[in-house]
Structure 1
């Protein structure tokens, strides 16, 4: 007897689920896209336990008749296409007929639906097998309940992250879909708490304002450009508004959220001369491309597309942004630059806070999980500034001479000239001071005379709830203040020069971008580095002589004066030997 067998349909569906359903957010994406294809005007999403316990998606779309409700769970059953030629011009979100059977194969699923013309239908399934089909009362539309996701796939379930992290992924996908569907009302709940409630909007600018808040939406510029049959519209941030990650670069092709490296490169090229390395603009770009010039049937998750003319799309996006930013002229494509934050050396992490400092007035408490971990015993616990004159600067005094272009400090040294980037230098100083304060068991804080409110997205709200104890231990007193608003009434004293609202969103962005595999040490570094960057003196800021002297002296007292926490160089040295050689004196 032969060894080759045809797989059982349920086994085949579980294999397909491995590609289509990566995590709870994938389930939400597929169900919401089905609702959009059904021409819903309102979509409500509720999750529990990060989506692993329960996902509930309701809509008021066209609904399904009884026979279609049952047939929908057969693999490759779809109402979106009829023949292979339809694949050349796909205009719907779904078309593969894989999502519903894949979801049902790894969960307990209940579909309740009605077309509004007759009694509704309820279909119950578990692990891909139909348990019952029965009449049910339901208004026009559909409600899908998914429980016990991956209950029969423990290998997949164990790779999921915490419920809060999975909820943030769900919030991100709902936010992206809502951005490209402004005429549809959306709501999102987690564990009974409202994370988002966006009424139908008139256009994408109004919807984006609902998502990011009126304050930041005021810094978004209109983008529009056409190249033949191709068109790009949307919003791009002014240079004054940027992020520490590329997570807020939102791309859509014919109404479909996508990720595309070529388009991301075009965005980077447009902003290359306006933002420092490691900073990313906030963009919402909507590309309209003839269906026959884009292939969406590249991956089961439908998050990737293939363009017929990728170079034209790249140039269209770049030129549109350059035009919006007032730089509408051809520019040379830039090679992608490294954007990661430099890892700090051993010994640059927090040690366990000193219990004696707990509860002192003006100090943050030390109850955060990642501030209470024990590190290697060889790490010095002293909070005193390290003695100046180590390494390259041992016994070498620097005397500030002048400031150049309100950005660089020129200083003399016994062996030549030193040029310091004032922002990078001050950033290094604040970073190490912040670490030192944390080592001592608390952060000196400063209460704000007028509390600051910060509008956040649903994903940022989840990140805040997950990281609130850690942020509090770093000296930030933040509390919920309404549905999508936080209020800040206390900050670290060292951060008094920072823009509070941008600082908070930046820190939440670091939490969202962090991956558990990086470890808590990495998250700790990212948060402190981001806070130091916001509080440091900026470029194009004039400094008097005492202020320049203070920055130079403080820099000489740091452990790593050559680079900022993000890995950028702090100073350049032009030796006397080099000067004499250039002037042919030797």
Structure 2
């Protein structure tokens, strides 16, 4: 049976994966002797920070980790929850941006160094059209040459983000939409695109604190999908898991 499992999983599973000093990352099996090596790399100095237990106990969930740098694994009273980190963060950002746009006044922060945004002629025309809406969100942009703009201030929640890249992607989204449909009301598309490009991406590595913070924010929402309609979580119930493993 052991040989069959080894063949099914592949030889690579039984090879020692190492870092500097030839110390395995995790316990491994010696192919010649069949013995398990217990010497592993100590990561305690690399990842020393853990969520304080007092703070963990305040929330009815336990973050188990990140899967493929894309999904958050979370233990909840009902079972095991898998959360799409981008779609979940996109939903949170959309609600924040929508509230900011509708209620104002914008929470704007001036950049220490202005950012130059260079666009195509078509994008420049589109940017002129959405400029009043961007101002309602807290952006301050000024024309700088024929097809360039200087970004002076941004919404406070985007201070640490690449605002030039975000606006470039938003303009591309709106341009593509304008080719396939009439943008009679450009605001919903603008807010959705802004939320999408300002959010955590797939393969972004998150700390335990960041994952817990994201889940705490999600608890406040009574919405189960991203602004584009995709679900952002899947719950595997205790009963479903028990049935799969034929446990009574």
TM-score, normalization: structure 1? 0.31
CA distance in 2, matches of 1:404, 1:506: 27
Task: Work out whether residues 72 and 85 of structure 2, in 8 Å CA contact, stay in contact via their aligned partners in 1.
Answer: yes
The 3 A distance-change label for structure 1 pair 462 and 477 is same
Aligned to 2:208: 545
Whether 1:442 and 2:105 are equivalent positions in the alignment is yes
Using a 3 Å threshold, how does the CA distance of structure 1 residues 463 and 534 change in structure 2: closer, same or farther? Answer: same
Kindly tell me: are residues 556 and 480 of structure 1, through their superposed partners in 2, closer, same or farther at Cα, counting changes over 3 Å?
A: same
- Aligned residue runs from structure 1 range 376-455, under 5 A: 397-455=60-118
**Whole-angstrom distance in 2 between the partners of 1:498 and 1:534:** 10
Tell me the equivalent position of 2:30.
Answer: none
In the TM superposition, what is the alpha-carbon distance from 1:399 to its structure 2 partner? 2.7
Superimposed CA distance per residue, residues 438-492 of structure 1 (whole angstroms, 9 cap, x where no aligned partner): 3322221121111111111111111122222122112111111112211111111
Is 1:426–1:551's contact at 8 Å kept on the other side of the alignment?
yes
- Give the whole-Å Cα distance in 1 for the aligned partners of 2:120 and 2:184: 25
- In the TM superposition, residue 575 of structure 1 has moved relative to its aligned partner by 0.6
- The aligned counterpart of 1:569 is 231
Show CA shifts across 1:111-151 (max 9, x none).
xxxxxxxxxxxxxxxxxxxxxxxxxxxxxxxxxxxxxxxxx
Higher relative contact order (CA 8 A, sep 6+): 2
CA deviations over 1:76-126 (Å, ceiling 9, x no partner): xxxxxxxxxxxxxxxxxxxxxxxxxxxxxxxxxxxxxxxxxxxxxxxxxxx
Preserved contact between residue 454 and residue 485 of structure 1 (Cα < 8 Å) = yes
1:393-443: CA deviation from partner (whole Å, max 9, x where unpaired): xxx933322222322111111111001111111111111111122332222
d(CA) in 2 for partners of 1:497 and 1:528? 19
- Measure, in 1, the Cα distance between the counterparts of 2:162 and 2:115: 10
How many Å separate the matches in 1 of 2:222 and 2:139?
26
Question: Aligned runs of 1:29-178 on 2, under 5 Å?
Answer: none
Mapped partners of 1:501, 1:437: distance in 2 = 20
Write the distance in 2 (CA, Å) between the matches of 1:470 and 1:437.
11
Aligned residues: 188
**Could you tell me which of 172, 175, 187 is aligned with 1:509?**
172
Q: Structure 2 unaligned segments of length 5 or more: list them.
A: 1-58
Distance 1:519 1:482 in 2: 29
- The answer (yes or no) to whether the contact 1:431–1:532 under 8 Å persists in 2 is yes
Judging by fraction of residues, say which structure has more helix.
2
- Residue number in structure 2 paired with 1:469: 132
What is residue 169 of structure 1 aligned with on the other side? Answer: none
Q: Measure how far apart 1:576 and its partner are.
A: 0.7
Contact in 2 for aligned 1:495/1:531 (Cα 8 Å): no
Distance across 2 between alignment mates of 1:462 and 1:544 = 41
Q: Indicate conservation of the 8 Å contact 2:70/2:85, yes or no.
A: yes
Alpha-carbon distance in 2 for matches of 1:516, 1:417 = 40
Q: What's the TM-score once normalised by structure 2's chain length?
A: 0.69
How far apart, CA to CA, are the structure 1 residues paired with 2:64 and 2:181? 46
1:483 matched to which residue of 2? Answer: 146
Q: Which residue of 2 aligns with 1:583?
A: 245
Name the CA distance, whole Å, in 2 between partners of 1:511 and 1:580.
Answer: 47
Evaluate the alpha carbon distance shift between residue 547 and residue 493 of structure 1 in structure 2; reply closer, same or farther with a 3 A threshold.
same
Correspondence for 1:534: 197
Shift of the 519–398 alpha-carbon distance from structure 1 to 2, 3 Å rule, reads farther
C-alpha RMSD over aligned residues: 2.1
Structure 1: how far apart are the matches of 2:208 and 2:148? 41
Q: Which has the larger radius of gyration?
A: 1
Q: Structure 1 pair 440/466, CA: closer, same or farther in 2 (3 Å)?
A: closer
Q: Is the 8 Å Cα contact of residues 407 and 540 (structure 1) preserved in structure 2? A: yes
Mapped to 2, the partners of 1:559 and 1:443 lie a distance apart of: 25
Does the Cα contact within 8 Å between 1:417 and 1:574 map onto a contact in 2?
Answer: yes
Are the aligned partners of 1:434 and 1:494 in contact in 2 as well (CA < 8 Å)?
Answer: no
Residue correspondence of structure 1 range 107-506 to structure 2 within 5 A: 397-506=60-169
* 3-state SS of 1:566 partner: coil
- 3-state SS of the aligned residue for 2:229? coil
Q: How far apart are 1:518 and its partner, in Å?
A: 5.2
Distance 1:405 1:511 in 2: 30
> In structure 1, the residue corresponding to 2:226 is in which secondary structure?
coil
